[in-house]
Every structure is written in C-alpha cells, then in structure tokens.
Amino acid sequence: MPRVRPAISQHSNCSPMRAFALLSCLFSCFSTVRAQQPASGEDPAPTILAECQMVLIPEKMALPLIVRLVDETKIESAFADIQALIAEGKAELSANLICRMSDGVKTFSVSGEEVRYSTEYDPPQLPQNAPADPAVLKNWPVIGVTPTSFETRNVGPKIEISASRKQDGKLLSVSGVCEHVRFIRWQKFDAGKLATGELLSIEQPIFHTVKSDMSVLMRSGQRMLMGVHKVPGSASSYEMFFLRVSTASTKTP
C-alpha cells in the first residue's frame, strides 16, 4: 500500500517551517520572561513602611522625657515608658498612622473629618419699596447676612512622606510633613447693625495646627522624635510626633 503523506491546505498562509519558527520565538520569549522573574522567596521590590505616632503628654511628664527622647541611645526605653503611660491613661494616643510606599514615591495617611464654613456673604438688603420710616424698619420681619461661598478644612492628623533607600536599604532618606489640625470653637464676628440697635454677626471656625517638616537620613527601623508642640486647652500638655521608617520585605510564595 502506498504511504499517504498529510496534505497542507492550500488556503493556509503558514508553512511547516514558518510555524516551527513561530513556536521557537514564543518559547524564547517565555524563557526570557521567566528568567527575569525572581526566584521563589526572593524580594522583588521591597516596600518602605512608615509609622507615625502622635501622643499627648502632660507638661510635667513631657519635659523630663524630651531629654531622653532626643538621645539616640535612650529613645526606645523612653518610648516604652510612654506606651506604659498610654496604657495607664496618663497619656493620650491622638493618632497612629501607618502607610506603605515604594522607593522614592510620595504617599500620605490621614484620619479626620471635614469642617465646612462660609467665607463670603451678601450684606443685608431691603426691598426697593421699603418704607423710609425708621419706626417701621424696626419691626421689619427678616434682615440677615446671606452666605454665598464656602470652604472646607480637613481636621485631624495627617502624614505626607517619601523615602528613598540607600546602601542596600540600610539607610533611608526621608522627607515629609507630620501635621495635626484641631477644630477649637466657633467665634462670632460683627456683620452689621439693625435699626433696633441689634448687632448682626457671623460665625467663623477657629482652628489650631501643629506641624513638623522633616528631611532626615535614618537607619531602617530607627525611631525618631520629629516634633514637640504645645497644645491649647485647659490642661497644659504637649503633643509629640514619633516616626519610624523601615524597609518591609514582600516575599513571593
């Protein structure tokens, strides 16, 4: 019986040699991609972890602690004492912000609420046919100041930070801002006077801001005191900003 050879469709644009070349090229590309991937367990791109703790401490306790907190050899023991004060209710943890970032990429972490308030107003106006008699104007039913524009202010703690790895991640160049904005109260401001002698007023918010800019070189895992600020209120207290930045490995399975 004569041997039958498989036939190739005349409508096909791919010869056996061309198909073999295409498969070889795909296999080569696949091998290249596999070679560029890290082996199992290796860290392809370590991220950087930033931890910012904001603590309110009474003035009598804060002043002796500051001496230890600025000493690199004593800061960890002083920080442990502060954590004990928080647990005992003698100090207050006002914020504990954590954010993760890539090398050299700026990121932020914020916790709070928005306060909306008016910024522009239309003055009181009477109709064109209003009587000129002051006695009648005294009894005019409604005269007020109308808000026409508003702004929003974020209230609460916030950290904006970027970090770059140096010396294989042992050192980190860190820059950013630690900030805590507080709403204090509403305050009235004069906005006119009625014919009866009654004063018109508008209310505006009073905010208090503590802020520390940073541009430092830190070891990975090092903790540093970034700022000490006096906080308004009946009880005299200080708010301290602590920052710890470290490389965080992300191992592949």
pLDDT, tens only, 162-175? 999 987 778 999 99
Q: Are strands 199-219 and 113-122 parallel, antiparallel or unpaired?
A: unpaired
Structural domain including 52 reads 44-248
Question: How many CA atoms does the CB half-sphere of 168 hold within 13 Å?
Answer: 1
Domain assignment of residue 5, yes or no: no
Measured in degrees and rounded to the nearest 5, phi and psi for residue 21 equal -65, -40
Q: Supply the pLDDT for residue 5.
A: 41
pLDDT digits 0-9 by tens, 10-24? 444 445 445 444 444
Domain assignment of residue 93, yes or no: yes
Residue 180: CB atoms within 10 A of its CB come to 24
Residue ranges of E strands in 167-198: 171-193
Residues 103 and 165: beta-carbon distance below 8 Å:
yes
Q: How far is 72 from 218, CA to CA, in rounded Å? A: 11
Percent of the chain with pLDDT over 70: 70
Strand partners, 192: 200
Domain assignment of residue 200, yes or no: yes
Please tell me the least confidently modeled range out of 140-154, 197-211, 230-244.
140-154
The structure tokens 């056996």 sit at: 16
Q: How far is 49 from 98, CA to CA, in rounded Å? A: 7
Q: How far is 115 from 119, CA to CA, in rounded Å? A: 13
Domains in the chain, number: 1
Closest CA to 218 of 97, 48, 46: 48
Percent of the chain with pLDDT over 90: 57
C-alpha distances out from residue 3 to 6, 7, 10, 16, 206, Å:
10, 12, 21, 20, 97
Domain assignment of residue 131, yes or no: yes
Domain assignment of residue 145, yes or no: yes
The structure tokens 């972890």 sit at: 49
Q: How far is 7 from 140, CA to CA, in rounded Å? A: 103
Domain assignment of residue 19, yes or no: no
Q: Supply the pLDDT for residue 200.
A: 80
Alpha helical stretches, state H, the chain: 16-36, 59-69, 75-88, 134-138
Report the amino acid identity of residue 197: G
pLDDT digits 0-9 by tens, 75-107? 999 999 999 999 999 999 999 999 999 999 999
pLDDT digits 0-9 by tens, 22-69? 444 443 433 333 333 444 554 455 689 999 999 999 999 999 999 999
Domain assignment of residue 23, yes or no: no
Domain assignment of residue 63, yes or no: yes
